[in-house]
Amino acid sequence: MNETIKVILSRRSIRQYKEKQLDEAALQTIMEAAIHAPSAMNAQRWYFAVVQNRSLLDRIVEVVRENVLNSGLEMMKQRVSDPKYHTFYHAPTVVMIFADEKHRFAQIDCGLAAENIALAAESLGIGSCVMTSPGLAFTPGKGDGLKKELSVPEGYNFVCAVALGYMDGEKPATPSRNRDVVKYIR
């Protein structure tokens, strides 16, 4: 099995990180992989906000918590009510990914970039977790201020975030996979 396939098959969502910040060279390599993701018509209508500021990350968590508690999302209300809840699992680096709302395929492109980030991180021994719940921080009002603070271009909307950090604990086991979803038509 080649190295690329090994990385794909070994990557897991990590939810426990060391406080140590990512090595700058590793971070640059990961972000280079992000911008090399496929992009429909090579439009590259994405925006990446790489956040390493702990107080900003904690503020985003509080906005997510507040918005969930004011929503009808009962399952999420339970999660955010836990005093240990942290949207980003205390990861030292979070890449927020935004897409141009006018570009038809930008969300797919952003998903491809998120996967490149996760795979590049795995190849460097860095844990990752792709998530969409941080999008709850970018609702009108406080969310507009956060977008401005992250220098998000006008007309771009949150797609997903990727938490990054050195793993602090065991790597989760491989979850079972449903192979019935693959149909070969020959």
Domain ranges across the chain: 3-181
Least confidently predicted of 21-30, 81-90, 106-115, 119-128: 81-90
Residues 149-158 have pLDDT tens digits of 999 999 999 9
**Percent above pLDDT 70 for the chain:** 100
| CA angle (168, 122, 131) in 5-degree steps | 75
Q: Given the structure tokens 């690329």, which residue do they identify?
A: 4
Q: Please state, in angstroms and rounded to a whole number, the distance separating the CA atoms of residues 36 and 132.
A: 22
Give the pLDDT score at 26: 98
pLDDT band at 36 (very low <50, low <70, confident <90, very high): very high
Backbone angles phi, psi at 6, to 5 degrees: -60, -45
Tokens representing 157 are 């909307």
Residues 122-162 have pLDDT tens digits of 999 999 999 999 999 998 888 889 999 999 999 999 999 99
> What are the beta bridge partners of residue 129?
163
CATH class of 3-181: alpha beta
Query: Computed over its alpha carbons, how large is the radius of gyration of the chain?
Result: 17
Contact indicator for 165, 18 with CB cutoff of 8 Å: yes
> Using CB atoms within 10 A of its CB, is residue 99 exposed (0-12), middle (13-18) or buried (19+)?
buried
Q: Please state, in angstroms and rounded to a whole number, the distance separating the CA atoms of residues 123 and 6.
A: 9
pTM score, whole prediction: 0.94
Give the pLDDT score at 56: 97
49 vs 72: which has the higher pLDDT: 49
- How far from the centroid of its chain's Cα atoms is residue 167's Cα? 16
Give the pLDDT score at 161: 98
Give the pLDDT score at 86: 95
Residues 71-89 have pLDDT tens digits of 878 888 888 888 899 999 9
Mean pLDDT in residue range 54-80: 90
Indicate the average pLDDT of the chain.
95
